[in-house]
Amino acid sequence: MKVKLEGHYGYGRLIVSAVPLIAMMVLISLYSIVDGLFVSNLVGTTAFAALNLIWPALGLVGALGLMVGSGGAALVAKTLGEGSRDLACRYFSMSVEFTLLLSVLTAVPLYIWMEPLAVALGAEGDMVAQCVIYGRICAVGMPAFMLQMGIQPFFMVAERPELGTQVSLLSGLVNIGLDALFIIVFRWGLAGAAAGSMLACCVGGFLPLAVLSRRQAEGGLRFRPTPLEAAPIAQACSNGLSEFVGNISFNVVSMCYNLQLMRFYGENGVAAYSVILYLGFIFIAVYTGYNMTVSPLAGFNYGADNRAELRSLLGRSLRLLLALGVLLAGLAELLAGPVARLFVGYDPALTALTVRATRLYAPDFLLAGIPLFISAWFTGLGNGPVSALVSFSRTFLFELGCVLLLPALFGAEAIWFSAFVAEIFALVLGGCLLLRLRKRYGYSG
């Protein structure tokens, strides 16, 4: 089935169109998890904890690419809906160029200050050196990492979601192969995991850029060198503000989780949370892939003034996400044991802690998709501030507050409920914003 932005999207067309991007995001999550599997089982618990302690800081910087890409994709989709394909290609090209520029400007200080950053995040003893090794290699590969994140939102806009799946599959195979080579054969430890990930990001970032640089037979989205302009870059950054704020908040919250878990559980708590995050990466990737499908559709139909289709997309999406949440929350409960044994089965006490923590955390996946969707919906409509408000509140305000308060009020185990309680508050806020702005964007009945 050829994917097009125009036309009516019923349940079947929505699901079929979303599958390639969901597959893309799940594959990216899986090959990120490969590092954890190799490191945890072949390098050790300290290296595994170090990887997950420093990763939020790296993700925070990489989120700049997602900000520009998500906001740029919304701008390009709206421009296509208005019928200006050549201008849309220019905006796409500017987004890619600005992402690469940002990656260089941020990678240098990240490399230089990696050691004090690791200490500030709570690393102690051998963990500091491990964090520095992993973090500095990732800083060198930051252009590829940031470009990979920045180009993902454009696959649906380019009407090429299958390209995202193909590239992600290839980069995932590269990551797995290089991890096996660098860690098992060359015995490079955590450095090998970092090198394998960054080389895989080169495939995930630069290969689709090369494909989208070719002239398309049907006049599709195409990259070509274009002088940067302040206005569209500012608009893209404003549109994508929620993705950046959300990633900043997520990574800050992850750092606070780690600090709290080191306090209550020690290294085992950080390792258990790392396993939950890996499972969460896959489940949240499903939601993210769906949102990457619908957000450009919202922008295109808003630009084309097709309000009836906007109403249909919103209603169908909310129903699909609720059903998906029930499925994913159930899977999290069922998979708690097998996933724990896969990552930390070598340590019975750590395995038991991980299983219990995962089952307590699992209800989060029931509701998580809807606040994420509401944020992506407003990004597609070009309302970056409202999108950012939902995203920021969900993680930084609600979840961080729960991480800090619930263990103090109800004991250490309450920390595993923090995400679920935060989703309830985020769902209420997002629902109120949808209702308040329904007439402005024309998706009300």
Q: Is 398 domain-assigned?
A: yes
Does the pLDDT value for residue 378 go beyond 70? yes
CA distance 404 to 402: 5
Residue with tokens 């300290």: 46
CA distance 305 to 228: 29
Which residue did the predictor score with more confidence, 110 or 281?
110
Q: Is 4 domain-assigned?
A: no
DSSP 7: S
Does the pLDDT value for residue 89 go beyond 80? yes
pTM for the whole structure: 0.81
Does the pLDDT value for residue 217 go beyond 50? no
Place 236 in a pLDDT band, splitting at 50, 70 and 90.
very high
162 HSE (CA, 13 A, CB side):
5
CA distance 296 to 81: 10
CA distance 299 to 316: 16
Rounded average pLDDT over 182-198: 94
Residue with tokens 């608009």: 235
Does the pLDDT value for residue 246 go beyond 80? no
Residue with tokens 């919304």: 74
Asked if 76 and 88 count as a contact pair (C-beta separation under 8 A), the reply is yes
Which residue did the predictor score with more confidence, 45 or 315?
315
Structure confidence at residue 218 (pLDDT): 52
Does the pLDDT value for residue 435 go beyond 50? yes
CA distance 199 to 201: 5
246 HSE (CA, 13 A, CB side):
29
Assign residue 411 a region (left: φ > 0; alpha: ψ between -120 and 50; beta: otherwise). left
How many other CB atoms are found less than 10 A from the CB of residue 437?
16
Does the pLDDT value for residue 219 go beyond 60? no
Angle 406-412-416 from CA coordinates, rounded to 5°: 65
Mean pLDDT check: name the lowest of 15-29, 247-261, 340-354, 406-420: 247-261
CA distance 195 to 286: 26
CA distance 380 to 298: 5
CA distance 105 to 97: 13
Q: Is 5 domain-assigned?
A: no
Q: What is the pLDDT of residues 16-30, one digit of tens each?
A: 999 999 998 888 787
Mean pLDDT check: name the lowest of 22-31, 106-115, 122-131, 368-377: 22-31
Asked if 402 and 379 count as a contact pair (C-beta separation under 8 A), the reply is no
Structure confidence at residue 35 (pLDDT): 75
Asked if 239 and 67 count as a contact pair (C-beta separation under 8 A), the reply is no
Structure confidence at residue 112 (pLDDT): 96
Rounded average pLDDT over 253-264: 83
3-class SS of residue 187: coil
Of 190, 180, 55, 169, residue with least CA distance to 118:
55
Which residue did the predictor score with more confidence, 441 or 205?
205
Q: Is 2 domain-assigned?
A: no
Q: Is 332 domain-assigned?
A: yes
Rounded average pLDDT over 80-101: 94
Structure confidence at residue 216 (pLDDT): 60
Write the DSSP assignment of 365-406 as a string of letters.
Answer: HHHTHHHHHHHHHHHHTT-HHHHHHHHHIIIIIIIHHHHHHH
Asked if 86 and 124 count as a contact pair (C-beta separation under 8 A), the reply is no
Q: Is 33 domain-assigned?
A: yes
Instruction: Provide the CA 242 distance to its chain's centre, in angstroms.
Output: 12
Tokens of 162: 């299958």
Q: What is the mean pLDDT of the chain?
A: 90
Rounded average pLDDT over 116-130: 90
Structure confidence at residue 1 (pLDDT): 56
Residue 167 class from Cβ within 10 Å (0-12 exposed, 13-18 middle, 19+ buried)?
A: buried
CA distance 366 to 117: 34
Residue 331 class from Cβ within 10 Å (0-12 exposed, 13-18 middle, 19+ buried)?
A: middle
Q: Is 229 domain-assigned?
A: yes
Tokens of 372: 């994420």
Does the pLDDT value for residue 94 go beyond 90? yes
Q: Is 1 domain-assigned?
A: no
Rounded average pLDDT over 83-111: 95
With pLDDT > 70 as the criterion, what percentage of the chain qualifies? 98
Residue with tokens 């995202």: 164
For the chain, the maximum distance between any two Cα atoms, rounded to a whole number of angstroms, is 62
Asked if 50 and 131 count as a contact pair (C-beta separation under 8 A), the reply is yes
Task: Specify the number of domains making up the chain.
Answer: 1
How many other CB atoms are found less than 10 A from the CB of residue 8?
11
Q: Could you tell me the residue range of the domain that residue 333 belongs to? A: 11-441
Most confident among 27-41, 44-58, 263-277, 295-309 (mean pLDDT): 295-309
Structure confidence at residue 80 (pLDDT): 92
